Structure 1
Amino acid sequence: MNAKTGSGASAAPALKQTLGTIQLWGIAVGLVISGEYFGWSYGWASAGTLGFTVTALFIAAMYTAFIFSFTELTTSIPHAGGPFAYSKKAFGPLGGYFAGAATLIEFVFAPPAIALAIGAYLNVQFPSLDPKTAAVGAYVVFMALNIVGVQIAAMFELCVTLLAIFELLVFMGVVSPGFSMAHFTKGGWSGQDSFSLASIPGMFAAIPFAIWFFLAIEGVAMAAEEAKDPKRSIPIAYITGIITLVLLAIGVMVFAGGAGDWTKLANINDPLPQAMKLIVGEHSSWLHMLVWLGLFGLIASFHGIILGYSRQIFALARDGYLPGYFAKIHPRFKTPHRAILAGGVIGIAAIYSDQLITLGGQTLTANIVTMSVFGAITMYIISMLSLFRLRRSAPAMERPFRAPFYPWFPAFALVGACVCMATMIYYNALIFGIFAAFLACGYAVFLMTKNSRGTEQSAYDVA
């Protein structure tokens, strides 16, 4: 926060400003790009390819409107807490709590799902390797890399993101000779060849997996405090990032579905290698290349989200919403090392929580994805409400980037997020109950620690 702290806050731990525009773009795309490799195909199980395409296009439109609106908040309040800081400024400590807790759930539960996918990809190459063991190994390696320093972490993120994009383009090129639109459309409406009203419930049920295509792009906000020129670089990173992701999502989904019998790709963690098998066979060198290079996409998101959750834990602890122990900065590397390790402990516990999280007939990965999405949607709703509130309560606040087509873009993002929340609760009531229980427990702690939070406020806190 540097000079942007108020009286008495000058001693608060601060993060170094080292990130440029291209690194922020790498974080924006890298945070999300694993969503192109796995997770989305679970949506085919309920909606079919065509039904899921409709769902995905709606979600893409919602995210585009959201990012254009969210960028106003990020550039106006470049704080490591991201949505937590915006909502605290708009609605006070309680608003800050709910936004911060929801964001924390999103970013803490996304990595174990990605780690399990990393394990599944490695298991293709090494059948004797337990995917969970590989997932834990991934946590150890990339927590260490994040602790070493944000500049090194961001450069690594940029490199693996570029390799991941290259690999997705290679995948599309390799399967294109065997692509058939007839494969993609067969049974494309929840198992039926033509649309009917019976297709609609499946399309709504697939919403969490369409969101997985774009989940966590907002994590760039948590690196804003470490950006050299956030007012200029963040809008560029966000806008180019969402365009990149929309194009890749459409391409991957269409080419994978047109490679053969798409029903074989639903409910699995490695749809791209399995889709390629339908074209080139099990022993092709292309397949081995995809498995190895495909790991870069998963690693990019896994590594980037570790950066995101650590900054959220750090920011919450710095403002007294979590124990101050987690707000400590490593004396040598200047990174929030305790926050990085704390999120990792929770993620590793989730990986081994089969009996707790395998609910409602869904796989462990599907339920972890759904839990993460509940956190994201809650945060999106609160963030858009914060944007409207701050436009009224703080009209003179500096806004280097203003949401285009205000109020229509943020209103569409808000309504879209509310539709997503309502349908997700209907189809995932049990997971929502666990999500609500997490929020309730956190709220109890929030009330009990009220007196321990100082009265000092940063320049970002007061509307």
Structure 2
Amino acid sequence: MTALQLKPTLGTLHLWGLAVGLVISGEYFGWSYGWGTAGTLGFLVTTLMVAVMYTCFIFSFTELTTAIPNAGGPFAYSLRAFGVTGGMIAGLATLIEFVFAPPAIAMAIGAYLNVQFPSLDPRVAAIGAYFVFMTLNILGVSIAATFELVVTILAVAELLVFMGVVAPGFSFSNFVLGGWAGSDTFSLPAVSGMFAAIPFAIWFFLAIEGAAMAAEEAKDPKRTIPRAYVAGILTLVVLAIGVMIFAGGVGDWRTLSNINDPLPQAMKAVVGGNSNWMHMLVWIGLFGLVASFHGIILGYSRQFFALARAGFLPPSLAKLSRFQTPHRAILAGGVIGIIAILSDGVINLQGMTLTAAMITMSVFGAIVMYIISMLSLFKLRRSEPNLERSFRAPGYPVVPGIALVLAVVCLVAMVWFNLLICAIFICLMAVGALFCKTVRGRNAPVAVTG
């Protein structure tokens, strides 16, 4: 193992915890913004479409992850398939996805704590969360992954408890009332709302692919990663559909459509604000947010690390601490996230809350990365037919083709409904590409191996 190679310490259970933990905050908050544009029924349709896309994507993406187990994940696959330009697009898109998601999650952590401590400024809590979990990530991947597994299991259990507690108050008539973008009947505005809600349906599953960035630290990645990914996507689909349906049927779902703590508020409608169940949801619900926040910090740090190691970013970001973790990369993403949190209330993006804007920006990065990853899969099947593939995408080329087509549909819809954030995303990609080219001209790149 070289000085710039990460140590393999993670087994299947740790990787499952990372795959689910990266995402599970999406079941606790963020998705309910989709109700505001699509209604409950419209958003359910959108979510089912996105669930199909993610299921096809993960079964296809796993082939790349096991064939090229590299901390760069999508960056490494696209670099190998399409060279420097492809690698740069994938790497920068992944960075945007993983750097802009944590501020949204941190603000939700602040919102949950504010329920218990009304005098606590959510921004202060959010920044505090960055310091705590950056420190934990720096202390070592084994410690970080074990913590991730524990909080993920608690978060999954709490979602099951939530569904069980609110079930007696569930009414199907509540769920369907005004379910098509505020109307009781399907119409053209309902279709428009369904496409506008795509970013928030993606939030249910966003970042599951981040487990690929731990592939270099996985024991026997050709066996452990497929198991973790398949179990992870099945876990998330079941939880996403269950939470959304139960939350939408306990009262007036409109009251939950533009807030950062929909589950506590949904439970309050059933058991009241002083119930022990309510307090338990708030406290244990924090584990779901913490699991994703903590896991995505691990993900963005590995992407910074891989880009720096390959010569696209300053080599200092590829330095490892005495705990064998990329501490400078962890801190770099944290600085960006804290600046984003401090901008809350200062910058207005199309009337969106900071959380909704950060979610949308993160989703732009994810969708671009999904598209180039699927293109990389098709390209490597042709250009490197003899590449060792211990896991092959089932139903090739149909399954990855479905993932690719649906990802393109999602991207077109997002551009149409989010022109300003799309423009900012393109600017960030352009500035990032210019910076990478400048740095790359000064550093000797390191080849990506599988």
TM tier, shorter chain? over 0.9
1:138 alignment counterpart: 129
Output the amino acid matched with 1:334. Q
**Worse-matched range after superposition: 90-99 or 353-362:** 353-362
Aligned with 1:246 (options 219, 225, 237):
237
1:89 aligned counterpart, secondary structure = helix
Confirm whether residue 186 of structure 1 aligns to residue 203 of structure 2.
no
1:264 alignment counterpart: 255
What is the CA–CA distance in structure 1 between the aligned matches of 2:5 and 2:432, rounded to whole Å? 25
Per-residue displacement from partner, 1:39-95 (whole Å, max 9, x unpaired)?
A: 000000000000000000000000000000000000000000000000000000111
User: What are the residue-to-residue correspondences of 1:118-197 with 2, within 5 Å?
Assistant: 118-197=109-188
Deviation at 1:196, TM superposition (A): 1.5
1:88 alignment counterpart: 79
Per-residue displacement from partner, 1:114-137 (whole Å, max 9, x unpaired)?
A: 000000000000000000000001
2:397 alignment counterpart: 407
Confirm whether residue 362 of structure 1 aligns to residue 378 of structure 2.
no
Confirm whether residue 336 of structure 1 aligns to residue 329 of structure 2.
no
What is the CA–CA distance in structure 2 between the aligned matches of 1:164 and 1:444, rounded to whole Å? 41
Output the amino acid matched with 2:365. G
Aligned with 1:386 (options 361, 376, 395):
376
Aligned with 2:420 (options 430, 444, 451):
430
1:26 alignment counterpart: 17
Aligned with 2:296 (options 287, 293, 305):
305
1:6 alignment counterpart: none
What is the CA–CA distance in structure 2 between the aligned matches of 1:14 and 1:456, rounded to whole Å? 12
Deviation at 1:348, TM superposition (A): 0.5
Deviation at 1:388, TM superposition (A): 0.4
Kindly indicate whether the alpha-carbon contact (under 8 Å) linking 1:35 and 1:213 is maintained by their aligned counterparts in 2: yes
Deviation at 1:13, TM superposition (A): 0.7
What is the CA–CA distance in structure 1 between the aligned matches of 2:244 and 2:189, rounded to whole Å? 23
2:33 alignment counterpart: 42
Task: Quickly say closer, same or farther: Cα 1:230–1:357, change in 2 above 3 A.
Answer: farther
1:7 alignment counterpart: none
Deviation at 1:283, TM superposition (A): 1.3
Deviation at 1:457, TM superposition (A): 2.3
What is the CA–CA distance in structure 2 between the aligned matches of 1:273 and 1:73, rounded to whole Å? 39
What is the CA–CA distance in structure 2 between the aligned matches of 1:207 and 1:198, rounded to whole Å? 15
Output the amino acid matched with 2:269. L
**Worse-matched range after superposition: 190-199 or 95-104:** 190-199
What is the CA–CA distance in structure 1 between the aligned matches of 2:155 and 2:360, rounded to whole Å? 24
1:8 alignment counterpart: none
Deviation at 1:455, TM superposition (A): 5.5
2:372 aligned counterpart, secondary structure = helix
Deviation at 1:356, TM superposition (A): 5.9
Kindly indicate whether the alpha-carbon contact (under 8 Å) linking 1:358 and 1:367 is maintained by their aligned counterparts in 2: no
Deviation at 1:450, TM superposition (A): 3.5
What is the CA–CA distance in structure 2 between the aligned matches of 1:177 and 1:191, rounded to whole Å? 25
Kindly indicate whether the alpha-carbon contact (under 8 Å) linking 1:265 and 1:274 is maintained by their aligned counterparts in 2: yes
1:351 alignment counterpart: 341
1:55 alignment counterpart: 46
Output the amino acid matched with 2:311. G
2:267 alignment counterpart: 276
Confirm whether residue 113 of structure 1 aligns to residue 99 of structure 2.
no
Aligned with 1:443 (options 433, 441, 445):
433
Deviation at 1:12, TM superposition (A): 5.1
1:417 alignment counterpart: 407
Kindly indicate whether the alpha-carbon contact (under 8 Å) linking 2:96 and 2:361 is maintained by their aligned counterparts in 1: yes
2:8 aligned counterpart, secondary structure = coil
2:215 alignment counterpart: 224
Deviation at 1:443, TM superposition (A): 1.4
Per-residue displacement from partner, 1:430-450 (whole Å, max 9, x unpaired)?
A: 001100000010111123234
What is the CA–CA distance in structure 1 between the aligned matches of 2:358 and 2:446, rounded to whole Å? 37
Kindly indicate whether the alpha-carbon contact (under 8 Å) linking 2:310 and 2:446 is maintained by their aligned counterparts in 1: no
What is the CA–CA distance in structure 1 between the aligned matches of 2:447 and 2:314, rounded to whole Å? 17
1:447 aligned counterpart, secondary structure = helix
Output the amino acid matched with 2:129. A
1:234 alignment counterpart: 225
What is the CA–CA distance in structure 2 between the aligned matches of 1:454 and 1:289, rounded to whole Å? 53
1:354 aligned counterpart, secondary structure = coil
Kindly indicate whether the alpha-carbon contact (under 8 Å) linking 1:189 and 1:199 is maintained by their aligned counterparts in 2: yes
The unaligned stretches of length 5 or more in structure 1 are 3-10
What is the CA–CA distance in structure 1 between the aligned matches of 2:413 and 2:443, rounded to whole Å? 37
What is the CA–CA distance in structure 1 between the aligned matches of 2:285 and 2:204, rounded to whole Å? 16
2:443 alignment counterpart: 453
Aligned pair count reads 450
Kindly indicate whether the alpha-carbon contact (under 8 Å) linking 1:357 and 1:367 is maintained by their aligned counterparts in 2: no
Aligned with 2:364 (options 374, 388, 395):
374
The unaligned stretches of length 5 or more in structure 2 are none
Kindly indicate whether the alpha-carbon contact (under 8 Å) linking 2:68 and 2:449 is maintained by their aligned counterparts in 1: no
Output the amino acid matched with 1:187. G
1:406 aligned counterpart, secondary structure = coil
Output the amino acid matched with 1:186. L
Deviation at 1:456, TM superposition (A): 5.1
Aligned with 2:63 (options 48, 60, 72):
72
Deviation at 1:357, TM superposition (A): 4.4
Per-residue displacement from partner, 1:117-165 (whole Å, max 9, x unpaired)?
A: 0000000000000000000010010000000010010000000000001
What is the CA–CA distance in structure 1 between the aligned matches of 2:346 and 2:274, rounded to whole Å? 37
Per-residue displacement from partner, 1:273-322 (whole Å, max 9, x unpaired)?
A: 00011111111111111100100000000000000000000011111111
Task: Quickly say closer, same or farther: Cα 1:107–1:66, change in 2 above 3 A.
Answer: same
1:253 aligned counterpart, secondary structure = helix
Per-residue displacement from partner, 1:79-112 (whole Å, max 9, x unpaired)?
A: 0000000000000011110100000000000000
Task: Quickly say closer, same or farther: Cα 1:318–1:436, change in 2 above 3 A.
Answer: same
Confirm whether residue 396 of structure 1 aligns to residue 399 of structure 2.
no
Q: Percent identity, please.
A: 70
Confirm whether residue 317 of structure 1 aligns to residue 308 of structure 2.
yes
Output the amino acid matched with 2:190. S
Kindly indicate whether the alpha-carbon contact (under 8 Å) linking 2:311 and 2:445 is maintained by their aligned counterparts in 1: no
Task: Quickly say closer, same or farther: Cα 1:326–1:289, change in 2 above 3 A.
Answer: same
